[in-house]
Structure 1
Amino acid sequence: MTETVESRIDTYPTRVDPEPKVMDREDPVVWGTPDKGPLSAKELGGYDQKGYLAIEDLVTPEEVESFRAELRRLSNDPAVRADECTVVEAKSQEVRSIFDVHKTSDVFAKIVSDPRVVERARQILGSDVYVHQSRVNFKPGFEGKEFSWHSDFETWHAEDGMPRMRAVSISISMTDNYSFNGPLMIMPGSHQKYISCVGETPDDNYKSSLVMQGAGTPDKETLTRFADTYGIDVLEGKAGGAIMFDSNCMHASNGNVTPFARSNVFIVFNSVENTLEEPFAASAPRPDFIGSRDFTPVGKALGD
């Protein structure tokens, strides 16, 4: 008999209490083993400890150029800019993100199913994987806006219905990431704790949160304690490299006031054993282009 929403156990409650809470993680970080993929025991151990893994030269310079060309094409296409999958900055009218990009671009569809990406995700999650979300992010010179501190899992759990912490994100750099042009920042080790946030989820919250986060953003006092405990790693790296990080990592990025643009391809892989349910703290699921309910495995399925 299917468990009802009212009777199911919520392991990671959020947006229900008047005060924030910090809870222990109840799920493994690494589900697979060194013999089941390209990552070594040392790499898996580092990912388990810090919550992220840096990969140099994941894609070739030629592939980076093809990504950049496709990025320019998409951002200049009026139909793409007008689509609901595209987030445009209100003031600058610069494109901030294009979601579901693997379904609208052959170039990005290839990288989503590329063995260099998929096999690493499978190894970390210990199962076949599907694409929960894909997007390209833009941080143009002088105009790129910040992303506030947050755990992706908190939002995916509250608004998409992702039950457990069994998802991994990969950010593939299309431009060099310097310390000063708004690179990804992570609090290493923070993935072992879960922050239950305050404030109910507004209806259609995604329409505003994709531009500026609101619900699901941790309070400043808790973030300060986390920063004091875990520190902050600023993840610099060359174009063509990538960062894989756990769904519960506390992460953010500063705005970009430099002339040097920063852009990346961002793919979220979720385990096929962790498929979405009804949202845990929202009245309705977010649209499929943000949290996919197509659970078809990508790449060659395990056992084929």
Structure 2
Amino acid sequence: MTAIADTTTEDRYITRITGEPGLIERTDPTVWGHGDGPIDPATLASHDAKGYSIYEGLLSPGEVQAYRDELTRLATDERLKADERTVVEKASGEVRSIFEVHKISELIAELVRDPRVLDRARQVLGSEVYVHQSRVNYMPGFKGTGFYWHSDFETWHAEDGMPLPRAVSMSIALTQNYPFNGGLMVMPGSQRSFVQCAGETPADHYKASLKEQEIGVPSQADITALAEKYGIDQFTGPAGSALLFDSNIMHGSGNNITPFPRSNIFVVFNSVENTLVEPYAAPSPRPTFIASREFEPLRR
């Protein structure tokens, strides 16, 4: 049985406010579909409760090496480094992320359509899906910069016009994720609370926020309240593991001061029943390489 999407553009997740931000109880499901798929019932129930699930060995060692080589090729392409889809570290100038990578790399284009990846997103979202965003992330040893606590959906709602939190992200590790090299931290169950953020969204905010986000981040008081209520888990494990997580879960990562680099492929799947409208709290939509407005379902 598939949950019915509310297709109206009524804003039930108001954010970027001028007053004191607060928490809004989420009324939408975490798991929208319960039909056939590669996720077993116990794991699906856990995903529903926690807002995330982990799949060790999603990629074989040979596949991991192939994707590592591809990330090296992309990061050393000088023409691509000058492309607006590439984000460099604020201090060092090294490549931090490359967006819309499934349109740049044939290898990654195949990966987003791989049943091991695509069918899990379809199962959780209870519908056909398209790629809202794809990117590769590089976190070098000694100087990799983390990401502050945030909800992706807050940004996608405010700046992209995503109506509901009917989207999931898959982060596929291409390096060992230790507890100490900047691994992703999540607050299990926090997807049930939408955290409002204060401040008006500036024009072209994405140019600054992709390097360091200052608008659209929750208050320290709200982060503390969520952490005390839900606790904090961390995504660790060998290369080839994957983390599938809800668009509204509170998450972040610390800086990497160890010698051990961290890199991953990151794909956001949105339901075709949840396509973007005009931004709810920004003067104009972000560029399509960050938030796609091509809503054709992904096919093998």
Q: TM-score w.r.t. structure 2 length?
A: 0.96
**Partner residue, 1:196:** 196
The 2-side partners of 1:148 and 1:11 are apart by 25
The 2-side partners of 1:145 and 1:113 are apart by 30
The 2-side partners of 1:287 and 1:95 are apart by 19
TM-superposed deviation, 1:21: 1.1
**Partner residue, 1:4:** none
**Partner residue, 2:67:** 67
**Partner residue, 2:12:** 11
Residues 191 and 250 of structure 2 are in contact (CA less than 8 Å); yes or no, is this contact kept in structure 1?
A: yes
**Partner residue, 1:296:** 296
TM-superposed deviation, 1:16: 2.3
**Partner residue, 1:76:** 76
TM-superposed deviation, 1:299: 2.3
CA displacement, residues 54-94 of structure 1 (integer Å, 9 cap, x when unaligned): 00100111110011001111101101110000000132111
**Partner residue, 2:105:** 105
**Partner residue, 1:32:** 33
1:91-130 alignment, distance < 5 Å: 91-130=91-130
Aligned CA-pair RMSD: 1.0
**Partner residue, 2:181:** 181
The 2-side partners of 1:191 and 1:299 are apart by 28
CA displacement, residues 12-42 of structure 1 (integer Å, 9 cap, x when unaligned): 0101241111010020110111x42111110
The 2-side partners of 1:57 and 1:197 are apart by 37
The 1-side partners of 2:83 and 2:57 are apart by 32
TM-superposed deviation, 1:296: 1.1
Name the count of aligned residue pairs: 293
**Partner residue, 1:236:** 236
What fraction of aligned residue pairs are identical, expressed as a percent? Answer: 57
**Partner residue, 2:21:** 20
What is the SS of the residue equivalent to 1:118? helix
CA displacement, residues 233-283 of structure 1 (integer Å, 9 cap, x when unaligned): 011111001000000000000000000000000000000000000000000
Residues 114 and 299 of structure 1 are in contact (CA less than 8 Å); yes or no, is this contact kept in structure 2?
A: no
**Partner residue, 1:207:** 207
The 2-side partners of 1:128 and 1:69 are apart by 31
Residues 59 and 241 of structure 2 are in contact (CA less than 8 Å); yes or no, is this contact kept in structure 1?
A: yes
Please list every run of at least 4 consecutive aligned residues from structure 1 whose deviation after the TM superposition is greater than 6 angstroms.
Answer: none
What is the SS of the residue equivalent to 2:10? coil
Residues 112 and 267 of structure 1 are in contact (CA less than 8 Å); yes or no, is this contact kept in structure 2?
A: yes
What is the SS of the residue equivalent to 2:159? helix
Residues 97 and 137 of structure 1 are in contact (CA less than 8 Å); yes or no, is this contact kept in structure 2?
A: yes
The 1-side partners of 2:240 and 2:210 are apart by 26
The 1-side partners of 2:222 and 2:60 are apart by 40
TM-superposed deviation, 1:219: 0.5
CA displacement, residues 110-141 of structure 1 (integer Å, 9 cap, x when unaligned): 10111110000000000000000000000000
Which one is further off, 214-223 or 7-16? 7-16
Q: Partner amino acid for 1:108?
A: I
Q: Partner amino acid for 1:26?
A: T
Residues 18 and 200 of structure 2 are in contact (CA less than 8 Å); yes or no, is this contact kept in structure 1?
A: no
**Partner residue, 1:246:** 246
TM-superposed deviation, 1:8: 4.5
1:135-146 alignment, distance < 5 Å: 135-146=135-146
Residues 160 and 279 of structure 1 are in contact (CA less than 8 Å); yes or no, is this contact kept in structure 2?
A: yes
Q: Partner amino acid for 2:80?
A: V
CA displacement, residues 186-211 of structure 1 (integer Å, 9 cap, x when unaligned): 00010000011110001000000000
Residues 191 and 246 of structure 2 are in contact (CA less than 8 Å); yes or no, is this contact kept in structure 1?
A: yes
**Partner residue, 1:151:** 151
TM-superposed deviation, 1:215: 1.0
TM-superposed deviation, 1:109: 0.7
Residues 115 and 299 of structure 1 are in contact (CA less than 8 Å); yes or no, is this contact kept in structure 2?
A: no
The 2-side partners of 1:270 and 1:8 are apart by 16
Residues 99 and 134 of structure 2 are in contact (CA less than 8 Å); yes or no, is this contact kept in structure 1?
A: yes
The 2-side partners of 1:8 and 1:264 are apart by 33
Q: TM-score w.r.t. structure 1 length?
A: 0.95
Residues 9 and 277 of structure 2 are in contact (CA less than 8 Å); yes or no, is this contact kept in structure 1?
A: no
CA displacement, residues 139-189 of structure 1 (integer Å, 9 cap, x when unaligned): 000110010000000000000000001000000000000000000100001
Q: Partner amino acid for 1:43?
A: T
What is the SS of the residue equivalent to 1:73? helix
What is the SS of the residue equivalent to 1:36? coil
